[in-house]
Amino acid sequence: GQQVMQIPQYQHVQEGEDFTTYCNSSTTLSNIQWYKQRPGGHPVFLIQLVKSGEVKKQKRLTFQFGEAKKNSSLHITATQTTDVGTYFCARGSNYKLTFGKGTLLTVNP
Amino acid sequence: DGGITQSPKYLFRKEGQNVTLSCEQNLNHDAMYWYRQDPGQGLRLIYYSQIVNDFQKGDIAEGYSVSREKKESFPLTVTSAQKNPTAFYLCASSIDSQETQYFGPGTRLLVL
């Protein structure tokens, strides 16, 4: 199937440390979306990447789309306790999204 | 106040009973989706609908049924055929099936 693999599954950091989660596919992605789900909450859209090599920034968050459009990453600089949650990537194809299993980020204050 | 609403927030069901989860949106979105979330499993697609009066099975449709009689509503029925229904159910909608999805707050279903 057209799955996306996310690594790591879990990441615990000290507040102020950086964090990166990776999303990989064996096939070319037409686009990739990133969502964040706070504990007990629902997924919230963060960003969509479409172009090869695209880099987008949202404050301390940096999103990249690989040159071959087979991988993507989300990097958080200087994590804060408000960054806690699960980060999902999702690929769009066949009129639907397929989500990765997510990376759960916990931050020690 | 626009958005997606799901009700109830928590739902308890006895084994062997069917139960229907509500999902309503006033965003004028054409596409709607139902996902199931289990710990460590991410989001798995149950059913989706690209337009009113049309819907397709997702990856785990067995034991579930849906209807899309109105653009605003996409109710999900968890039938007694679903052997492991305890989970967090999320409804989402998007302008069309290629775009960003907006999620409702979810319904936690517990089978007693």
Q: What DSSP assignment string belongs to A52-103? A: TT-EEEETTEEEEE-TTSSEEEEEESS--GGG-EEEEEEEEETTEEEE---E
Burial of A87 (0-12, 13-18, 19+ CB in 10 A): buried
Tokens of A82: 């408000």
Question: Does residue B90 sit at the A interface (CB-CB below 8 Å)?
Answer: yes
pLDDT of residue B25: 97
Between A45, A99, A101, which is nearest B40 by CB?
Answer: A101
Q: Is the pLDDT of residue A94 over 80?
A: no
Q: Is A47 exposed, middle or buried (0-12, 13-18, 19+ CB in 10 A)?
A: middle
**pLDDT (tens digit per residue) in A33-43:** 999 999 999 99
Task: Say what the pLDDT of residue A44 is.
Answer: 96
Contact between A41 and B33 using a beta-carbon 8 Å cutoff: no
Chain A touched by B60 (CB under 8 Å): no
Chain-wide mean pLDDT for chain A?
A: 94
Beta bridge partners of A49: A32
CA distance A38 to chain B (A): 11
A68-77, A95-104, B67-76: range with lowest mean pLDDT:
A95-104
Probe site for chain A from B101, B102, B107, B108 (most A CB atoms < 10 A): B101
- Is B72 in a helix, a strand, or coil? coil
Q: Do B104 and A95 touch (CB under 8 A)?
A: no
Q: Are B74 and B88 in contact (CB under 8 A)?
A: no
CB B83 within 8 A of CB B2: no
Digit-coded pLDDT (tens) for A46-76: 999 999 999 999 999 999 999 999 999 999 9
Q: What is the pLDDT of residue B55?
A: 96
For chain A, give the percent of residues with pLDDT over 90: 90
Nearest to A78 by CA among A64, A60, A58, A59: A60
pLDDT digits 0-9 by tens, B4-42: 999 899 999 898 899 999 999 999 999 999 999 998 778
Cα separation, B61 vs B34, whole angstroms? 10
CA B34 to chain centre: 3
Contact assessment for residue A64 and residue A55, using Cβ atoms and an 8 Å cutoff: yes
What's the gap in Å between the CA of A77 and the closest CA on chain B?
A: 24
A45·B97 Cβ contact <8 A: no
Taking a contact as any Cβ pair under 8 Å apart, which residues of chain A between 9 and 28 contact chain B?
9
- Across the range B100-109, mean pLDDT stands at 95
Question: What b/e sequence results for B65-77 when a residue is b if at least 16 CB atoms lie within 10 Å of its CB, and e otherwise?
Answer: bbebeebbebbbe
- B1-20 exposure pattern, b = at least 16 Cβ within 10 A, e = fewer: eeebebeeeebebeeeeebe
Residue B77 C-alpha, separation from nearest chain A C-alpha, in angstroms: 20
At B1 the pLDDT is: 53
Residues of A in contact with B40 (CB under 8 A): 9, 101
Q: Residue B31's pLDDT is what?
A: 94
Work out how many CB contacts closer than 8 A connect A with B.
46
Chain B contact set for A48 (CB, 8 A) = 100
By CB neighbour count within 10 A (0-12 exposed, 13-18 middle, 19+ buried), where does B97 fall? Answer: buried
User: Which of B93, B78, B75 has its CA nearest to residue B27?
Assistant: B93
CB-based contact, B39 to chain A, within 8 Å: no
- Work out whether strand B54-57 and strand A19-24 pair parallel, antiparallel, or are unpaired: unpaired
